[in-house]
Chain A
């Protein structure tokens, strides 16, 4: 167990290091001066700091070293377009993205996994075929088109739900944690309940748009895992022993199916993040994806670099942790994969 933990810790560190290297080299790949691309400031003869000195000398190793040092000190550079520190900007937008991702993935898990189990147990029955065809249709939706359809139907035609943003401008909620629901619940605003209702209304459409596709993927993954487990010999043995269904389910099926579901969920995280970023743009959701896509329109290279580094680090962290957990609870898996 300790062995696995150490190995995954190593893996995360190595992966983060590669990401740091990529983000540093981006400054050289982007058009313009590398120092300006890294910090958002011009490199003048009297610019202070070890990083500027390293750039004047042209020592790439030192440049990378001081770049990493700056990152750890929270000195992430400045945006081209707003000249604000990127550190503050990222932490203004990140909670919105995490919030949307969290709700969407929870919804997908709550709907997708039980439905997938049902489909798996009723393998090659009508329910199974219905679920499979439905999920096939759901996976094939282009996410931006789905978001537009939702806006067209629920906002423009039926006038039920708001089409953009996180909260109506009427409610002035002070930002403390950045997570809008938590902020509202903790605030002492006189119309707190109305604000909460409004925030939830704003959340519904983006959450549905993101979770629509993810739910279908989770459903298919779970179904496949259940079908595979149900075909094994130990389930047949359990059935011949006359164990009741719920015992077989909780003792054998659930545990073994989860082992193959967990690593597949880890792979899905990056797709989920891509969908969240696109949906944020359509719904003008003030998150990292929306911010990054604005940054590319404005050729804001420091912002693109740091956004890429941060989003992929978060994805790496979650994906690797999920994989680590699945490896911990399943020691039978091939341990020599990375030799």
Chain B
């Protein structure tokens, strides 16, 4: 060991620091993180950055192509739609709506799902069995069906779509939490804590929760990408956000009528959904392998 200074403690990175170290190793993950932060900034600062209001109609420039096209205008960088609304502004607002809705749905699912998962993981016997059966049933109902049912009961609208997607996402958090807790309970350090006389509640808060946060964050990241896809799909099917709201899926379904003469009205909102989802997936994947590498060290 070269130049060990006896007076300095050896540097022990905290779990988060070592995760970040591993995460930094992958360039693709860093690019994904940059793209994701770009979208987050767009979503938060949306109203300040947009050149026009999302519903401002410029009737002198209907279906204007994007600026790089021969007929495009620099006033509307990404062109306009059939009512002469600026696509760039609408997409930035759309990112706010879609991304914000997805984060809301995931937070809802995360809180409820983790709570149920903890109960399912820490109970045993008949109670656990009943809970698991009911949860497994909900797990196999396709998310679009749950959304259709919620919409049929409560009516269409973005908030109902967010609720439906949140409900559909709950089982994956329950599953992840339950499996994690079952696994951890068989490990030696939990048994040691039990021998020391710790109660289940103490073990949960002191030993399991700190270890579980990683799992939940990875699940949450991946769930956001699913939620974005689902919110956009519901908007596209006219079951989620309604026409007046600039939601990316709704924008695609509005662009359908003019798909042949103005394909950018479909391509650009879809491309922004795609870029958002892929950046989240890359970050989630990078995070997962960073955690795996940290554990194997």
Residues of A within 8 A of B (CB): 11, 14-15, 18-19, 22, 26, 29-31, 133, 136-137, 139-145, 148-149, 152, 156, 267, 269-271, 273-274, 277-278, 281, 289, 292-293, 296-297, 299, 301, 304, 307-308, 311-312, 315-316, 319, 338-339
Contact = CB atoms under 8 A, between A and B. Distances in A.
A90 to B, nearest CB: 14
B137 A15 contact: yes
Contacts of B273: 142, 145
A149 to B, nearest CB: 7
B202 interface: no
Nearest to A26: B149
A315 B266 contact: no
B233 A140 contact: no
Contacts of A273: 142, 144
B233 A18 contact: no
14 contacts: A30-B152, A139-B281, A140-B277, A142-B229, A148-B259, A156-B260, A270-B142, A274-B142, A274-B144, A277-B145, A293-B148, A311-B142, A315-B142, A316-B137
Given A270-B141, A297-B238, A311-B145, 17 more contacts: A11-B133, A15-B137, A15-B140, A30-B153, A136-B285, A137-B278, A145-B252, A148-B252, A148-B259, A149-B270, A152-B259, A152-B266, A273-B142, A277-B145, A338-B129, A338-B132, A339-B129
B278 A140 contact: yes
Interface string B125-158: 1001100111011011111110011011100000
B239 interface: yes
A276 B277 CA distance: 20
Contact of A142 (B139, B259, B274): B274
Nearest to A319: B140
Given A148-B270, A293-B148, A308-B148, A271 B142 contact: yes
A30 B154 CA distance: 8
B249 interface: yes
Contacts of A316: 137, 140
B237 interface: yes
A312 B141 CA distance: 5
A38 to B, nearest CB: 14
A26 B277 CA distance: 33
Contact residue range for chain B? Answer: 35 or more
A70 to B, nearest CB: 21
Contact of A270 (B140, B274, B282, B285): B140
A141 B236 CA distance: 14
A144 B233 contact: yes
B184 to A, nearest CB: 15
A165 to B, nearest CB: 17
B297 to A, nearest CB: 15
Interface in B183-215: none
Interface in B267-284: 267, 270, 273-274, 277-278, 281-282
Contact of A144 (B141, B151, B252): B252
A269 B142 CA distance: 8
B263 interface: yes
Contacts of B41: none
A253 to B, nearest CB: 21
A308 B149 contact: yes
Contacts of A136: 278, 281-282, 285
Interface of B: 28, 124-125, 128-129, 132-134, 136-137, 139-145, 148-149, 151-153, 225, 229, 232-233, 236-239, 249, 252, 256, 259-260, 263, 266-267, 270, 273-274, 277-278, 281-282, 285
A7 to B, nearest CB: 11
B124 A339 contact: yes
A154 to B, nearest CB: 13
A269 B140 CA distance: 8
B260 A277 contact: no
Contacts of A338: 129, 132-133
Contacts of B263: 152
Nearest to B150: A29
Contact of B149 (A11, A271, A277, A304): A304
B141 A145 contact: no
A308 B145 contact: yes
A271 B229 CA distance: 12
Contacts of B266: 145, 148, 152
Contacts of B249: 142, 144
Contacts of B142: 270-271, 273-274, 277, 311-312, 315
Nearest to A139: B281
A274 B143 contact: yes
Nearest to B182: A337
A36 to B, nearest CB: 14
Nearest to B128: A339
A142 B269 CA distance: 11
Nearest to B126: A339
A316 B263 CA distance: 40
Contacts of A142: 229, 232-233, 249, 270, 273-274, 277
Contacts of B252: 144-145, 148
Nearest to A141: B274
Top-3 shortest CB links A-B: A145-B270, A140-B278, A140-B277
Contacts of B270: 142, 145, 148-149
Contacts of A297: 238
Among B133, B149, B238, residue most surrounded by chain A Cβ atoms (within 10 Å)? B149
Contacts of A11: 133, 136
